[in-house]
Amino acid sequence: MRNRDPGPARRQVWGPRLLGSVRVFASVHDRRKGFLIAGGAIFPCALGRGGIGTLKREGDGRTPRAALPLRSVLYRADRIGRPRTLLPVRAITPRDAWCDDATDRRYNRLIDRPPGEAEERLTRDDHLYDVIVELGWNDAPVIRGRGSAIFWHLARPGFTPTAGCVAVAGHVFAKVLPRLARHCRIMVR
C-alpha cells in the first residue's frame, strides 16, 4: 500500500508549542539579577534593586514573587516594528504614561498626559521601554500603595537593577514573544 498525501485540508503542520508560562528566578550570587526560562531556553535578566519579595509596596524596588499574567505589549513604533505576538499590542504615543501616584484615582493604570507631566513617562530617551509587556500586578483590584507599573522590558547594559520590573536583552523578546500563549503568565519565584 502506498503512502498518500492527505491533502492540504488534512495535513497537520507542527510548529513550536505555545508557552503557557515563563519562569523567573534570582541568581544565588546577586539577588538583583536572575534568569528567565522560556521553554528550554534560559536568558539572563535584571530584577528589582530590592530583589524578589513577597510583600510589595510602592517604591520599594522589589520584583513581586507571584504568578503575573501578561496583559498587553506596548512598543515604540518610531524605533522598532510591531512585535509578533498573540497578546494585545499597542503602539506607545508621546502622551502615554503610567500613574504611580497612590493618591490618584487612576493609580496603576495607563494614562493620557501631556509630555512632561507624568512621573512614569513611557516615551523615554533611552531604549528601556522600546518594548514593554504589561504584567498583571495589583490591578484586579487595585490596592493603593501596593505597587504599580511592573513591566517586562529591555535591560540596561550590564543588567543593572530595575525599580521592580523584569528586564531582558532585546533579542529575547524577538525569540520569546511569538511563542507566548494568549493567557501566558510569568512565574516569579
Burial call 137-147: b when 16+ CB within 10 Å, e when fewer: bbbeebeeebb
- Residue 121 forms part of a structural domain: yes
In a domain, 136, yes or no: yes
Q: State the residue range of the domain holding 49.
A: 19-188
Has residue 1 been placed in a domain?
A: no
Query: What tens digit of pLDDT does each residue of 107-137 get?
Result: 999 999 887 666 789 999 999 999 999 999 9
pLDDT tens, residue by residue, 58-69: 999 999 999 999
The Cα 77–Cα 129 span in angstroms is 11
- Specify if 40 maps to a domain: yes
**Is pTM beyond 0.85 here?**
yes
The CATH number for 78's domain is: 2.40.440
Our count of domains for the chain comes to 1
User: CA-to-CA distance for 23 and 41, rounded, in angstroms?
Assistant: 11
pLDDT beyond 70 at 6: no
Residue 11 forms part of a structural domain: no
pLDDT of 14 above 60? no
